[in-house]
A and B are shown apart, each in its own frame.
Chain A
């Protein structure tokens, strides 16, 4: 059945069952790479997107439940030509090894900065506590989030 979703500012009509996890609609119907499948259990954070500006695990969010809400994915944050301050900071800090967790890290960080534009390091650590990184890039990720916050404050 057709479901109307608003993703990254554009409205799309998607032919999927309402209980389809949003993650698969984003990845397969809308061909967006940002949100990733990691566990399907809300444990790892790789699938994190923003729904009305707040972090949400897209792997367990039924697409039918987000009708009328604004979804933002990594692609909606910024592009190669017009990077979001978080994306720029992750490049500046070279904050990735394999990078599979990074989309989720950036989306959770965006949620944090929406709530708390000037977080302390401990705030970043606790905001990202449920986003798993297996390569051991944690410190660079924290530095990147703090750098983005600082840069935003400076502009």
Chain B
């Protein structure tokens, strides 16, 4: 047998005239309120939107969530198989296709298990019960005497009927009631086990696994030429010269959008190189001055919102300290540049895309191109791990523009490496200012301010078109405005509200409304930087109070599950209360409950600092996580470990380089990431809580890891670095300077207001 391939036949079979073949939710009468249904059942209310029972006894599962390398498709199949009592091998899963699956918005924010998983759990239990009712009528017995094994329903006397035999009778075109109780965890045989990932065999044998592997007959290859700066206008390009190049079929020029279509991929790439040389551009916006970036960003127009406030008197004489932390622009830096295949045929546009949200993408492409959403089909096909909003949606639009230009043949477009690095929306640069007071070993005051650009500039915005290419075409669109997102999820303020039990606190989110550098969602949004700042500052407060950092945290936590992960990681790492660094080595802890409501994660890192070169290494790292009920332990471990390692890379190495004239990061040499020799083993402890709700975990480790490393560095050297990443230059500067990186001068409460703003050296 050969590895599975995506062929034209498979694709057209998949197309097969199926357009919205599941039942749409019945339209509600004005004023009538629908019953609240759990998870994504609330927005996709019919059972057949989620599940089909097939005559051959297999089950087809539909989900609006998509595989991003996080293993979600496997976990969702486990949940459906569990509730239906069918073997996992008989479950097929179809995900993220505007022609076939529910609309579940974006696959983002570690919400798939909670939204799609909950819907499938409830729908699965209900469908199983419908099948049992049918079997009871057929076999002539009471439903509660029947038992289900591997998709076969048995009567006490041994007579049986298989699901497949009931496929034609079971009516799933009905609204879910969510009244059938799912199985208790004690009866689980599939959920809670490490089911092997369904996508891995094809990926290790060269099967068609990615959108990059889509090949359609007559398919052409496109490439795009980008301006030298954000917003620059195309003045001229020698189209005749490009058209004369081998294999070039079309030069696509639409306003300042410039692309090329050729018969062979390398021909399109060669044409791009020549076009980059000969295209003339003017204008474009200036970027912030890197050396003054944070000050400049904070001086921009912002919408300020107090997101948490609690008042209590502060004892006179309480020790007050403050600190300012920074996180730079950081890139998703997917291993694969973004890719899409688009085909415009008879007025219908089909796009194969690795977007995280096929429905929002469809709506936004429609408004950008002046098409009706019903004339567009977006089919999710995996790309490389994206870790948030990278170029996936943009390249889908670009490919659609090229496909429209050649009208008929499908066009495959993969961005080039420099294009991906320069044009993806980055995780925003952020500034966090904290002031805290301690008295008698307790935090008695806490003021936290975070400044950030938008973390959500995804397609789907009602007031703008968030697709890069659409800002450059002749009929140019504008991006949507920056928006606050409600707590507890938040955006730039995700995890900005401290989880600790402080009697007095005030947290303010300063949402920067301008976008001098293009930004959007990067894994965890603001949580990475907020947890880094909060947890760094907790160590600074612990030091001010003269208390061990682990004990200091535990003293401010009441919740048993929060305490348990901290205790678990301390135990795994054999943390010694009061342990000290030796100038080169040291350990630190970081803790957070992701988004305040998702997975609890605590991390302890050990760092080794080369005081001569300034290089920081992490030889050992421990993590403990409580994600509630564990669906797939191996999958969860993979997510936690991956998050730890990626965060380590962000924290030690990563920042986008630019000057006033443009982005300079364009390849892996000037955006290095952590590599094999520097990746430590990650020792992970999972706390399973089978009777608790399953919680999102895909982003849980990033913040705690950053804080653990920063705290370990401070423990090792006695100097604290408050600006990420911990590059050798920054480390050497901190170690050499008597001022930089020192603990801050403390003052006593009440504070003299004339000394209210204490600027620390950076």
A interface residues (Cβ-Cβ under 8 A, vs B): 16-17, 20-21, 24, 27-28, 31-34, 36-41, 43-44, 46, 73-75, 78-81, 83, 87, 90-91, 94, 96-103, 106, 124-126, 128-142
- Cβ distance B633 to chain A, nearest Cβ, rounded Å: 11
On chain A, the residues within 8 Å of B682 by CB distance are 139
B residues less than 8 Å from A79 (CB atoms): 1-3, 205
Given contacts A136-B643, A140-B638, is CB(A97)–CB(B70) below 8 Å?
yes
Alpha-carbon separation in the docked complex, A58 to B630 (Å): 41
- Name which of A32, A46, A133, A142 has the most chain B CB atoms within 10 A of its CB: A133
User: Roughly how many angstroms separate A131 CA and B673 CA in the complex, as a whole number?
Assistant: 11
B210 at the interface (CB under 8 A from A): yes
A138: chain B residues within 8 A (beta carbon): 645, 676, 679
In B377-392, the 8 Å CB interface with A consists of 382-385, 387
Q: Are A134 and B207 in contact (CB under 8 A)?
A: no
| Known interface pairs A98-B383, A136-B643; 6 further A-B residue pairs with C-beta atoms within 8 A, sorted by A's residue number | A96-B199, A99-B199, A100-B383, A103-B203, A132-B668, A139-B641
Question: B416: CB under 8 A from chain A?
Answer: yes
Q: How far is the CB of B193 from chain A (nearest CB, A)?
A: 13
Q: Which residues does chain B contribute within 8 Å of A28, judged by CB atoms?
A: 215, 221, 264-265
Given A33-B209, A39-B668; A139-B679 close (CB under 8 Å): yes
Return chain A residues, CB-CB under 8 Å to B669: 43
CA–CA, A90 to B194, complex, Å? 15
Q: Is the CB of A134 within 8 A of B385?
A: yes
Chain B binding surface SS class: loop
**Residue of B3, B69, B246, B677 touching A75 (CB-CB under 8 A):** B3
List the 5 shortest-distance A-B pairs measured between CB atoms, nearest first: A98-B69, A136-B645, A136-B642, A98-B385, A99-B203
* Least distance between B372 CB and chain A CB atoms (Å): 33
- Residue of B212, B266, B417, B677 near A36 (CB, 8 A) is B212
Of listed B69, B203, B414, residue having the most chain A CB within 10 A? B203
Q: Would B676 and A97 count as touching, CB distance under 8 A?
A: no
Please pick, from A20, A34, A43, A44, the residue contacting B206 in the complex, using a CB distance under 8 A.
Answer: A34
27 contacts between A and B (CB under 8 A): A16-B266, A17-B246, A32-B206, A33-B209, A33-B212, A36-B212, A36-B336, A37-B337, A38-B335, A39-B417, A39-B668, A74-B204, A74-B206, A78-B205, A80-B2, A80-B3, A90-B200, A91-B196, A96-B197, A96-B204, A99-B203, A100-B383, A125-B677, A126-B676, A133-B335, A134-B335, A139-B681
**Interface status of B634 (Cβ within 8 A of chain A):** yes
| Chain B 627-683 interface residues, beta-carbon cutoff 8 Å to A | 634, 638-639, 641-646, 649, 667-669, 673, 675-677, 679, 681-682
CA distance A29 to B194 in the complex (A): 39
Given contacts A134-B384, A139-B641, contact A46 B197 (CB under 8 A): no
Tell me, in angstroms, the Cα distance from A52 to B578 when the chains sit together.
57
Q: Which chain B positions have C-beta within 8 A of A136?
A: 641-646, 649, 679
B114 within 8 A of A: no
Q: How far is the CB of B671 from chain A (nearest CB, A)?
A: 10
Contacts of A24 in B (CB 8 A): 264-266
The reply to whether A98 and B384 form a contact with Cβ atoms under 8 Å apart is: yes
Say yes or no: A137 contacts B677, CB within 8 Å. Answer: no
CB-CB under 8 A from B387, the residues of chain A are 134
Smallest beta-carbon distance B525→chain A, Å? 18
* Contact A94–B204 (Cβ < 8 Å): no
What residues on B are CB-neighbors of A41 within 8 Å?
Answer: 417, 667-668
Q: Are B668 and A137 in contact (CB under 8 A)?
A: no
Contact B205 A80 (CB under 8 A): yes
Asked if B237 is at the interface of the complex by the 8 Å CB criterion, the answer is: no
Contact check, A31 vs B335: say whether CB atoms are below 8 A apart: no
Does B714 have its Cβ within 8 Å of any Cβ on chain A?
no
User: Once the chains bind, are A44 and B675 in contact (CB under 8 Å)?
Assistant: no
Q: Please name the residue on chain A nearest to B415 by beta carbon.
A: A37
